[in-house]
A and B are shown apart, each in its own frame.
Chain A
Amino acid sequence: MNEVISNADFLDIINIIKLQYGYDFTGYAQASIKRRLLRFMGHMQLNSVFELKYRLVNDQDLFSRLIQYVTVNVTEMFRDPGFYKSLREQVLPKLAAYPNIKIWHAGCSTGEEVFSMAILLQEAGLLGRTKIYATDLNPANLERASAGILPLDNMKDFTQNYIQSGGLADFSNYYTARYDNVLIKKELRQHIAFFQHNLVTDKVFNEFQLICCRNVFIYFNRELQNSVLQLFFDSLSSRGYLAMGIKETMRFADLQGKFEVVHAHNKIYRRKE
């Protein structure tokens, strides 16, 4: 994989996708997306950028597969246990003051972090009056997430994460294992609505007390980060919380003055007024 995609070719590809399919990758961080495009070409045995462009124009199926490849669908339950601990200790007690709680998971991938959130809410006695809106760009992710089925292999790691996050229950109570998979309990899933939302092109659709958007900003350039941050600001109720990935930062964002820091290391912020 020693070839590179020139800037001109990259812009061509992005334009074809935008005009033909309505997905806008213009503001994506290039180092990563170029690499993923090359990987996709390798996988589909497309030998040149020209061939990729030609097929994109003429073949809708190829585009559906490209979306699977270009979006990053890696996730874990209770990823960064310390973050979930902060949620338990610092955020959920504040959310408890609301009669109805609305949470948005933006970029939820296959749902692992959403299920983790549902577990936290359940343990805090808040799940019954919470609605979680979980959105992603990739329809295949949403299909998997809605099914609530995860591979059994990962549960050992997830259990470790859960315990480190301060979980005291028996983690296996939250799912039913069968053969190589587990099914997340329905009582957790029934408070979650999974649907498609594109952070680049779609707008505000509700008002939330907490928005979780972890490890999504890293794939955006600064300009796009700024505009999505504006979208989040507009979607938060006054004093609402925003949680990002632990290596994502608001330091370089235009809107940083409109948020206060709740937990610097775990990247939990709060909308000022």
Chain B
Amino acid sequence: MNNKFDVITIGGSAGSLLVLTELLDALPDRLTAPVIIVLHRLRNVQSEMGRLLSTRRRIVEPEDKEPVREHCVYLAPQNYHLMVEADRTFMLDYSELVNYSRPSIDMTFSSVAEVYGARTLGILLSGANKDGAAGLCQIITAGGRGVVQDPQTAAFEAMPQSAIEMCGGVQVLSIENIKKIIVGET
């Protein structure tokens, strides 16, 4: 069973949509840990991203101060940074772009690392910039597990590659193996 993690957080940018869908479809029903997703998206265009990503799971864009609940899959809303507070509620932040991005993966990963520490699983997928790399390192420093999609299989390698270069302890895995971790087999 999946008792190792209290939270799973996933970041992705260019080229991550299909693999993310694959991961979401593989989430076992018994998984209790909340899943927090950050994708780089257009800022002022209405989108139905939540529905696009998965037909199996309902994906929620959290509102400010909403508690982080088990069994739920969350997606950072457009044009806000998404953070988690010490009392495990969401906080939205409308400050400057970070790594040219809002939402920024670093912002979410780093706040999750601070709150969930060693009980965090962070996953960084395909993308064309380095957002998420520093955050993934913070997850690892906090004792959590940091995984990247193998750059060789990623449509855009810059994002996972930056994380590998930025700190030790990053696990480089195929999507199949990332699924296995989520399912709790490895």
Contacts and interface: CB of A to CB of B under 8 A. Distances in A.
A36 interface: yes
B63 A72 contact: no
A148 interface: no
Contacts of B85: 29-31
B64 A248 contact: yes
B94 A218 contact: yes
Interface residues of B, number: 27
Contact of B111 (A31, A82, A164): A31
A201 B94 CA distance: 23
A167 B161 CA distance: 45
A24 to B, nearest CB: 19
Contacts of A31: 83-86, 91, 93, 111, 114
Contact of A249 (B44, B63, B110): B63
Interface stretch (B16-24, B133-141, B148-156, B178-186): B133-141
B3 interface: no
A222 B65 contact: yes
Contact of B138 (A2, A30, A79): A2
B122 interface: no
Contact of B91 (A29, A79, A215): A29
B96 interface: yes
A30 B64 CA distance: 13
Interface string A73-87: 010000111100000
Contacts of A247: 61, 63-64, 77, 80, 92
Interface in B49-94: 61, 63-66, 77, 80, 83-86, 91-94
Nearest to A34: B114
23 contacts: A2-B134, A2-B138, A4-B114, A30-B86, A31-B114, A32-B83, A32-B93, A32-B95, A72-B94, A72-B95, A74-B96, A157-B44, A215-B94, A218-B94, A225-B65, A245-B64, A245-B94, A247-B61, A247-B63, A247-B77, A247-B80, A249-B63, A251-B63
Interface of A: 1-2, 4, 29-32, 35-36, 72, 74, 79-82, 157, 160-161, 164, 215, 217-219, 222, 225, 245, 247-249, 251-252
